[in-house]
Structures are given as structure tokens and as C-alpha cells.
């Protein structure tokens, strides 16, 4: 997933060299730490009230959220509702509905050797959490992790992306109006501000973005041994086998690819289609683009824009690889890039080696199931994998022989929706997961507690040891 660049935090504090520190940011982190240390965030009632306020914030300002998203990304109102405002409200409600049961201590069995005793697992808040959000879904990917961190009983510092300035400014305005001003903070800015944040000590860092910046964030976190959740990206492959329903496959792939103008971390990045049905599949995708966006997608109210001219320039540079069979047109001033299909793409071309993160879809013919699986296995583990086939055994084989953060059979993207499915990557596509209960688990520590009474204290575990006692224990165990 593409996001703003962050410079490595210098080791100036340790070395005594000058450091461009923003004192207000340091003070903000200290306020969050003080609120957590005072126990402000620990009560369940506080967490539930913050989740209710988060829901209120979105519902009462939905029109402003939609306007900010339109300004930043040209995002259609339907996409803003489906993937941003409604998603956040639904997430906050679901977490609030289940929070008491998730947070309740869980009794577990105690081994015979420690009896009499009671054992339980408690979910402890981690402390102060830093959420670094990206620009492509600037509301959802800020406020959904925020909801999970609040549910876990943490203080939070949220850093929205400066690449989506309207969304960042709106969050900075609204969050302190609705949420606890001592425990929940928004820090705006770019590289310098993020660098100052990363020099501070946090108890967990939740980062959504690309792998290059993730390495910088991990380096900073390592200085404090801070645990992290990394939601990254990669080239999510889509396999279309010869027995797939091509009409359904084309519709679903086109929708998932061109939603948010392709700026989605789990968008189909390229299609591996059985060579025997390649022509038919391309024509169906072409027809879907016209059906979705009309003869001129630039005039469609349902097709978004690239977030910045810099990102558009990068995408335009990818078009020279292969043959453009659909789309390929662009407008720098309006940040428009047409839904585009590429064929005959060299496998070592940049468009096949880096995450596209835009409305460009390479079509790669393959010779059957084994070839598709080999293609995927030869590359880094992706955030998502999609397979379209009429054969359950073929789908199962793809899932069994490949590794990905998540997967869909005969669909794309939709595995993000169910609350009970964890969302996260594997290997270079990320570490850790969230959504629903998994968000609560991510932002809490599962603390083991053994409670042993003192009215009885069997001497068998104390020296001096005897062979007779050992033999008795071995028989007993």
C-alpha cells in the first residue's frame, strides 16, 4: 500500500546531536501517557462511551466526511458510504455490542501440580497506541484501528496522512470535539512530525502503508522494543481458471479493481487467466467497464480520481509496459486515469514488480492451475489472493498450495467485510490482524493469572526432595 514517506528517526537523543523535535507533539504524547497512567481509559464504561461518541461523530458529520473524501480522492458518495462512513459506524457498533464479553476474564483449567488454584486470562490495555493511517481510505483506516485501540482500553495518538489533507483536517477538527481530549489525540503533519512521533515511546504502533516505510517504522519501534501491527500490501493475484463463470468473474474483478480508482490495498493487482479463455475474459472486462462507467469514465460520477499528481505521474509511467487494450488515457489537471487493461506485459516490467495501486490491470495468460500456483509461489506472499473456478477441488488446491494474508473464492475484496474474519498480511504483506474481536485482541495483552489460596500448602514441591515423592508424583501425573 502506498503512503507518505517517513525519514528514519535520527539517533540524536542518544548521541546528543541536535534533533528537529516538535515540542507540541512531545507534549501531546505525554498527555496521552498521563491519561493512561491515571486510569482514564481502563473502565469499560469509558470505552463504550468513546465508541458511542465515535459513532455520533461520523453520523452527525457524514456530509462533511463525504465532501472531504471527494476533495481528496474524487470518491463517489456510494464508495464513501460503503467503505468509509458506514463501515466505521458498523465496526464501532459491533465492537461496543460485544466488548463486555470480550473483556471479561476467561477461566481456564489449572494443572494438577498447582492445585488448589484458579487460573484465568485477563485482557490488559497496552498503554499508549500510535496509529499511522494512509491516504487511500483516510477515514476508515484511521477510525477503525482507533475503535479497536479504544476498546482495548488504550490512550491513542492518531496520525492521519498529509496526502489526503481534507480528511486529515476534518479528523483533527472533529476528534477532540467528540472524544476524550486527554486520552485521544490527532497529530497532523508530514515527515518531520511523523519522525518526532516515532522518536517517542509507545506501547504499540499500528501502521498501514507500504513495506519501505514499514521498515523505517520498525527501526524506530525497535529502539523501545515496541510491538507493531503492520498492514501493508503487495501484488494481490487473481486467478481465473477455464471453468470459471467468466461473466461473474469479470464483473466482480472489475468492481474490485476500479473501486476507489484502484487505490485499494487488496484490489486485484493482476489477473492470471487460463490462456484458453483469455480473449473471452478481456472482452467481458471491457464490457463491464463500459457498463459501470459509460463510454467516457471521466464523466462518470462513480469513478474516483488519483490522490495526487505525483501518484498519477507514477501510474502513467507504468502504462508503457505491454499493450493498452482498454483505457490508458489520463488528465493531469483533474488527476484522472481511465480504467485500463494491459496485455502482453513483460513479467519483469515495473507494472508486474511493484504494487500498482491504481486503475491499471495487467492480464497474464497462464497454462492451467499448476502454472498459476507456481506463478504465485515464486513471488512474495500477497495481502490477498483471489481464485475464480467452478471446481471446489481446484479452489481448495490453490488455497492449500499458496500463502496469502486472506483469500476469496469466486469473489474479490469481500473478505474484509465479515467481523469475525481477521484482516492482515503475512510475511512482506504485513504482520498482525484486526477487525471485530481481532481488533480487541490486537490492542490488549492476554495476561495469565493464577490465584492460589494459602489455607493449604502441600510440601511436595519443596526441598528436600525424595525419590518416594518423585515416584508418587510421576504416577499421579
pLDDT classification of 209: cutoffs 50, 70, 90 = very high
Question: Can you give the pLDDT at residue 476?
Answer: 76
**Does the pLDDT at position 256 exceed 60?**
yes
pLDDT classification of 430: cutoffs 50, 70, 90 = very high
Question: Can you give the pLDDT at residue 114?
Answer: 87
Q: Find, among 148, 143, 145, the residue nearest to 178 by Cα.
A: 143
Tally of CB atoms within 10 A around 64:
14
**Does the pLDDT at position 21 exceed 90?**
no
Question: Can you give the pLDDT at residue 386?
Answer: 98
How far apart are the C-alpha atoms of 376 and 409, rounded to whole Å? 16
**Residues 361-411 pLDDT 10s:** 999 999 999 999 999 999 999 999 999 999 999 999 999 999 999 999 999
**Residues 324-340 pLDDT 10s:** 999 999 999 999 999 99
Question: Can you give the pLDDT at residue 473?
Answer: 81
Mean pLDDT of the residues in the chain: 94
Total residue length of the chain: 477
**Residues 271-280 pLDDT 10s:** 999 999 999 9
How far apart are the C-alpha atoms of 75 and 470, rounded to whole Å? 71
Catalytic residue among 55, 200, 265, 408: 265
| Residues β-bridged to residue 385 | 407
**Does the pLDDT at position 38 exceed 90?**
yes
Which domains can be identified in the chain, with CATH numbers? 12-232+430-447 (3.40.605.10), 237-424 (3.40.309.10)
**Mean predicted confidence (pLDDT) in 265-272:** 98
Quote the cell numbers at residue 285. Answer: 472486462
Helix segments in 402-442, DSSP class H:
437-442
Termini Cα distance of the chain: 52
**Does the pLDDT at position 125 exceed 80?**
yes
Question: Can you give the pLDDT at residue 8?
Answer: 40
Quote the cell numbers at residue 28. Answer: 501531546
**Does the pLDDT at position 11 exceed 70?**
no
How far apart are the C-alpha atoms of 3 and 263, rounded to whole Å? 11
Q: Which residue has the cell 499448476?
A: 370
Question: Can you give the pLDDT at residue 20?
Answer: 62
Tally of CB atoms within 10 A around 284:
19
**Mean predicted confidence (pLDDT) in 319-324:** 93
Question: Can you give the pLDDT at residue 14?
Answer: 40
Tell me 10's DSSP state.
Answer: P
**What separation in angstroms does the CA of 474 have from each of 407, 408, 460, 467, 477?**
47, 50, 12, 10, 5
**Mean predicted confidence (pLDDT) in 416-430:** 96
**Does the pLDDT at position 17 exceed 70?**
no
Instruction: Tell me, yes or no, if 231 is annotated catalytic.
Output: yes
**Residues 279-293 pLDDT 10s:** 999 999 999 999 999
Quote the percentage of the chain above a pLDDT of 90.
Answer: 89
Catalytic residue among 84, 200, 231, 441: 231
Quote the percentage of the chain above a pLDDT of 70.
Answer: 96
**Does the pLDDT at position 6 exceed 60?**
no
Amino acid at each position: 500500500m502506498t503512503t507518505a514517506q517517513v525519514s528514519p528517526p535520527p539517533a540524536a537523543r542518544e548521541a546528543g546531536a541536535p534533533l528537529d523535535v516538535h515540542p507540541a507533539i512531545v507534549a501531546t504524547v505525554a498527555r496521552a501517557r498521563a491519561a493512561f497512567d491515571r486510569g482514564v481509559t481502563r473502565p469499560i464504561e469509558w470505552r463504550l462511551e468513546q465508541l458511542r461518541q465515535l459513532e455520533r461523530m461520523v453520523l452527525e458529520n457524514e456530509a462533511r466526511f463525504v465532501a472531504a473524501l471527494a476533495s481528496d480522492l474524487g470518491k463517489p458518495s456510494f464508495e464513501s458510504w460503503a467503505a468509509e462512513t458506514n463501515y466505521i459506524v458498523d465496526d464501532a457498533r459491533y465492537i461496543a455490542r460485544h466488548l463486555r464479553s470480550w473483556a471479561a476474564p476467561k477461566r481456564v483449567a489449572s494443572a494438577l501440580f498447582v492445585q488448589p488454584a484458579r487460573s484465568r486470562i485477563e485482557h490488559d490495555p497496552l498503554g499508549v497506541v500510535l496509529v499511522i493511517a494512509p491516504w487511500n481510505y483516510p477515514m476508515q483506516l484511521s477510525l477503525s484501528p482507533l475503535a479497536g485501540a479504544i476498546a482495548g482500553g488504550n490512550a491513542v495518538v492518531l496520525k492521519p496522512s498529509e496526502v489526503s489533507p481534507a480528511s486529515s483536517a476534518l479528523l483533527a477538527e472533529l476528534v477532540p470535539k467528540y472524544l476524550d481530549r486527554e486520552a485521544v489525540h490527532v497529530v497532523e503533519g508530514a515527515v518531520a512530525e511523523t519522525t518526532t512521533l516515532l522518536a517517542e515511546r509507545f506501547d504499540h504502533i499500528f501502521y498501514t502503508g507500504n513495506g519501505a516505510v514499514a521498515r523505517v517504522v520498525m527501526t524506530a519501534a525497535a529502539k523501545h522494543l515496541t510491538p507493531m501491527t503492520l498492514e501493508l500490501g503487495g501484488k494481490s493475484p487473481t486467478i481465473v481458471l477455464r471453468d470459471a463463470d467468466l461473466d461473474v468473474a469479470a464483473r466482480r474483478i472489475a468492481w474490485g479493481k476500479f473501486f476507489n480508482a484502484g487505490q485499494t490495498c487488496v484490489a486485484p493487482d493482476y489477473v492470471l487467466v487460463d490462456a484458453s479463455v483469455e480473449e473471452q475474459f478481456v472482452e467481458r472486462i471491457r464490457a463491464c467497464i463500459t457498463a459501470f462507467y459509460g463510454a467516457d469514465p471521466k464523466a462518470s460520477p462513480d469513478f474516483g480520481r488519483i490522490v495526487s499528481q505525483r501518484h498519477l505521474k507514477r501510474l502513467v509511467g507504468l502504462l508503457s509496459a505491454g499493450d493498452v487494450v482498454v483505457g490508458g488515457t489520463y488528465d493531469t489537471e483533474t488527476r484522472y486515469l481511465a480504467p485500463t487493461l494491459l496485455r502482453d506485459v513483460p513479467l519483469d516490467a515495473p507494472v508486474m514488480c511493484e504494487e500498482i495501486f491504481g486503475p491499471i490491470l495487467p492480464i497474464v495468460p497462464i497454462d492451467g492451475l499448476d502454472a498459476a500456483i507456481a506463478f504465485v509461489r515464486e513471488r512474495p506472499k500477497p495481502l490477498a489472493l483471489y481464485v475464480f473456478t467452478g471446481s471446489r477441488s481446484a479452489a481448495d488446491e490453490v488455497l492449500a498450495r499458496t500463502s496469502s494474508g486472506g483469500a476469496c473464492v469466486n469473489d474479490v475484496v469481500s473478505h474484509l467485510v465479515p467481523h469475525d474474519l481477521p484482516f492482515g498480511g503475512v510475511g512482506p504483506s504485513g504482520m498482525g490482524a484486526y477487525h471485530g474481536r481481532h481488533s480487541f485482541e490486537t490492542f490488549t495483552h492476554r495476561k495469565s493469572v493464577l490465584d492460589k489460596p494459602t489455607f493449604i500448602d502441600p510440601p511436595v514441591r519443596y526441598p528436600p526432595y525424595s525419590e518416594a515423592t518423585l515416584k508418587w508424583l510421576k504416577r499421579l501425573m
